[in-house]
Amino acid sequence: MKRTWIWVAIGGTFVALIAVFLLYRARPPSEEVQIPKPSPEEVELLKIRQVAGSGLAGKLELKKAETTSQGWAVTLVAEVNHVQLDSLLEQASAAFSEMKRAEIPVAIVELEMHTDVLQDRFGRRVPELILKMAFTGETLGKVVWERFDPRDFPYVADEYWLHTRLHPQQEKLFEEKAKEEERGITSDESDS
């Protein structure tokens, strides 16, 4: 008799499990969780963050991204460990190129480059701003970044500031460009 009760209990448990399983499957499907679609503004902000984090333009940090009536006002910051102007200008060119490629309506894009390589008179490293430039959306759109010569930033950028310790390098780059242009004109004239 004891075994009969055990078999009845096991059978009842088995029937109960089957009933629960069938009832669970028979219930109507629950509503799927709807993930809200991001707004156009959120999509644009994501693109800006991707530009800053892409690494294509060096290590950039998004300092500010605000919407205005003309588009986005974006400030990007780069921490660099050197003060080679030609390299800094190449990085800046890549950053602005990435912003244009993102196809975001831009009011202004600012880029600040900071370093702690410079030293004061006591030999202490001093974190300083060494390069700052900005482009309005209109100017950013005019530049053909694939063929842009970074030495032309002072002439093209809407705002261009350079630390005084980099001015000699800037003059050297201007001289190199002038010599290249002179050779280019001379070689064109000799061909004809």
Tell me the residue type at 18: I
Alpha-carbon span 97 to 65, nearest angstrom: 17
Interval 109-127: pLDDT, tens: 999 999 988 888 888 888 8
The answer to whether residue 30 sits within a structural domain is no
Decide if 65 contacts 72 (C-beta within 8 A). Answer: yes
Q: How far apart are CA 2 and CA 61, in angstroms?
A: 76
Residue 46 CA neighbour count, 13 Å, CB half? 6
Task: Provide the residue range defining the domain that includes 163.
Answer: 40-189
Query: Is 3 contained in some domain?
Result: no
The whole-number average pLDDT for the span 15-26 is 77
Higher pLDDT, 50 or 9: 50
- Residues above pLDDT 70, as percent of the chain: 90
Residue 1 has pLDDT above 80, yes or no: no
Q: Is residue 20 part of a domain?
A: no
Beta bridge partners of 113: 78, 131
Q: Is residue 6 domain-resident? A: no
Of 147, 163, 53, 161, residue with least CA distance to 93: 147
**How many domains does one find in the chain?**
1
Q: Which tokens is 181 given?
A: 């242009």
What pLDDT sits at residue 58? 63
Q: What is the pLDDT of residue 118?
A: 81
pLDDT of res. 9: 80
Distance CA 96, CA 155 (A): 15
Residue 21 lies in a domain: no
Residue 29 maps to a domain: no
Residue 188 has pLDDT above 60, yes or no: no
Quote the mean pLDDT of the chain: 86
Q: Is the pLDDT of residue 192 over 50?
A: no
pLDDT, one tens digit per residue, over 69-99 is: 999 999 999 998 888 999 999 999 999 999 9
Confidence label for 22 from pLDDT (cuts 50, 70 and 90): confident
Distance of CA 48 to the CA centre of its chain: 5
Residue 8 within a domain: no
Q: How high is the pLDDT of residue 123?
A: 84
**Please, is 170 exposed, middle or buried when counting C-beta atoms within 10 Å of its C-beta (0-12, 13-18, 19+)?**
middle
Residue 28 lies in a domain: no
Task: Please tell me the predicted confidence (pLDDT) of residue 29.
Answer: 65
Burial (CB < 10 A; 0-12, 13-18, 19+), residue 34, is: exposed
Structure tokens at 32: 């799927």
